[in-house]
Structure 1
């Protein structure tokens, strides 16, 4: 019996995007024939029962529209998928073409761009905003939708088709395979951060706190994984940056299979964001990975985060502007290893009970089944 064909499609996400590659695609591949079209994907990439389609990679939206999208259509239309799952709004026009050819469409909303435009550095012109609003509202009336956060429904409250909320919780089997935690000696403490590195995500506050920590623990290490969204001179102007620069290790964007191994000696995972754009309404996805790794977390004091961190007793929620409090919490975690370990175990237990991909996978598969059995237009 021929399995139905699913096309997972993004012109922006990297070929090792953890949500697409390590969660959604493997979950679907157990039941469907899955094709994954991503920038810089390798056709010989080894993931079970998933076929990869390489797309050109461009940072600027206009370049993607001119050079990536035509290649994407040429490579993907011939697949004749039963369902196309798009992960960025710029693909909405292409999705209408797939729909015209008979495919069902899922439009996944991973950020509230209506709030996010205020801090975006690229593709943020008035023309882009206007075009986004037009096609986003067309998609609401024409496609099925997936949301990664409950709060996004406050904006998307006029949907014509069924929707699902599928959180980006931690995959416990994946964490178990690639992220075995050990414990560092207290005289050389290590800390861990994964995600975009920017001032909006408290890099300036982190630098100030770590410069204070260096007087007590001069050999600490701060592992920083993710793309950097500021200029070198902007970082160099931060008080204390020059003193701690040898302690900061920047890895750039890194496959999650690789970066998790660097958490093995860490004492805490940092999940601080300032209350800008859609951050107070959205989980930083690494929060749940830290918890699954048994890392105590230091997170922003947003009500959304407090409900997870404080109820689970797995770390601290602090002001994202207060470097002094951050320093105190890091110092406490270094000097109270037994209590820190309890926090780590509490976080892992909370993930096993509530914040795991297995339960989200069930929602995903049920939603797909509903869509593919849906007899109306989509």
Structure 2
């Protein structure tokens, strides 16, 4: 059975798409293809990679020209099952569906609510854009073969519409980020943040908070917006920040191994309150405490597993107090980290989630073989 994953937005090495989903399908015996920006046109780890040109400067061109290139590649591959990952590919998915293909829409975010907090969209336009996008997404979702949702909240939304939807959480691989040869005593007096760097992900509060301590923030990732980067660098607390830039998976693991806690301080926007950020679970997987936003869903996970501290993400003093407590209480912090790792082993891991994905593919493959 030939399957093909499609993205016009994500890099081909994307953790959810390439490292988890495509690799899982290869392991289950599927001939697996991936079409993505700037991918090498070769086979790597048994995944057949197909490149489309990346357009960086113009979103409209990416949403038209790049999508057209993705569609042409998809047709050339002639897969049995297509699995796409970006809302701008919905028209492509409908075209493939009309050609008799099985089509899966993988929804990483609650797109209509996410639009309401997009920094680059003028506020006056956000609701006017969000409404038609939701209508289009709902219309198409009811017709696709299946919806794969990255959180229970998103899955429930589409189940209520009558879609065939399954929840495949973006939890970490069990062994990827755990460096067993690093002891707690070898850790430095540092905390870390790894991921996309934006205002709504708490960068300014993190910088102000670390500046209220004598400790260091290891900052891994890229600033999404140049003006926000300029503001961040000008802040007093920046002197306590070590900017690492974009990190590969090995470098992420090494950064977490040095750190005494991981920060995930997203702002309480409507699109983030019910999210399950992968970085939170990656910190847990690495066996370090989490200092996180006090959203009800996150508090339930963190407090029930006694693996971190929840704070108001827009209160730099509360964040600084939590950071200092972790640094000053290494024994208790280590126990939190051990609790976090155990929770990953028992519940929050990709090995469990992959079973849902494989069951979905098995069911769709049987439909194809029986002509349904």
Q: TM-score, normalised by structure 2?
A: 0.90
Within 2, Cα distance between the matches of 1:142 and 1:62? Answer: 26
Within 1, Cα distance between the matches of 2:159 and 2:367? Answer: 21
Q: In structure 1, the residue corresponding to 2:83 is in which secondary structure?
A: strand
Within 1, Cα distance between the matches of 2:254 and 2:186? Answer: 17
Q: In structure 2, the residue corresponding to 1:142 is in which secondary structure?
A: coil
Partner of 2:221: 225
Partner of 1:201: 201
Partner of 1:164: 166
Report deviation, 1:35: 0.3
2:6 aligned with 1:9:
yes
Tell me which of 58, 61, 64 is aligned to 2:59: 61
Question: Is residue 284–residue 290 contact of structure 2 (8 Å, CA) maintained in 1?
Answer: yes
RMSD between superposed Cα atoms in Å: 2.4
Question: Is residue 67–residue 88 contact of structure 2 (8 Å, CA) maintained in 1?
Answer: no
Question: Is residue 295–residue 347 contact of structure 1 (8 Å, CA) maintained in 2?
Answer: yes
Partner of 2:141: 140
Question: Is residue 155–residue 165 contact of structure 2 (8 Å, CA) maintained in 1?
Answer: no
2:26 aligned with 1:29:
yes
RCO greater where, 1 or 2, for CA within 8 Å and sep 6 or more?
Answer: 1
Report deviation, 1:207: 1.6
2:331 aligned with 1:331:
no
Tell me which of 341, 349, 354 is aligned to 2:342: 349
Report deviation, 1:230: 5.4
Deviations 1:272-319 (A, max 9, x none): 111113111011111111001011110111111011111111110111
Q: In structure 2, the residue corresponding to 1:261 is in which secondary structure?
A: helix
Within 2, Cα distance between the matches of 1:15 and 1:181? Answer: 30
Question: Is residue 179–residue 264 contact of structure 1 (8 Å, CA) maintained in 2?
Answer: no
Q: In structure 1, the residue corresponding to 2:344 is in which secondary structure?
A: helix
Question: Is residue 290–residue 307 contact of structure 2 (8 Å, CA) maintained in 1?
Answer: yes
Partner of 1:189: 189
Report deviation, 1:58: 2.4
Within 2, Cα distance between the matches of 1:93 and 1:83? Answer: 16
Within 2, Cα distance between the matches of 1:339 and 1:320? Answer: 22
Question: Is residue 193–residue 217 contact of structure 2 (8 Å, CA) maintained in 1?
Answer: no
Q: TM-score, normalised by structure 1?
A: 0.88
Within 2, Cα distance between the matches of 1:207 and 1:377? Answer: 57
Q: How many residues align?
A: 364
Q: Residue 278 and residue 377 in structure 1: after superposition, are their counterparts in 2 closer, same or farther (change >3 A)?
A: farther
Q: Residue 179 and residue 22 in structure 1: after superposition, are their counterparts in 2 closer, same or farther (change >3 A)?
A: farther
Q: In structure 2, the residue corresponding to 1:275 is in which secondary structure?
A: coil
Q: Residue 307 and residue 180 in structure 1: after superposition, are their counterparts in 2 closer, same or farther (change >3 A)?
A: farther
Q: In structure 1, the residue corresponding to 2:177 is in which secondary structure?
A: helix
Question: Is residue 10–residue 37 contact of structure 1 (8 Å, CA) maintained in 2?
Answer: yes
Partner of 2:311: 318
Partner of 2:280: 287
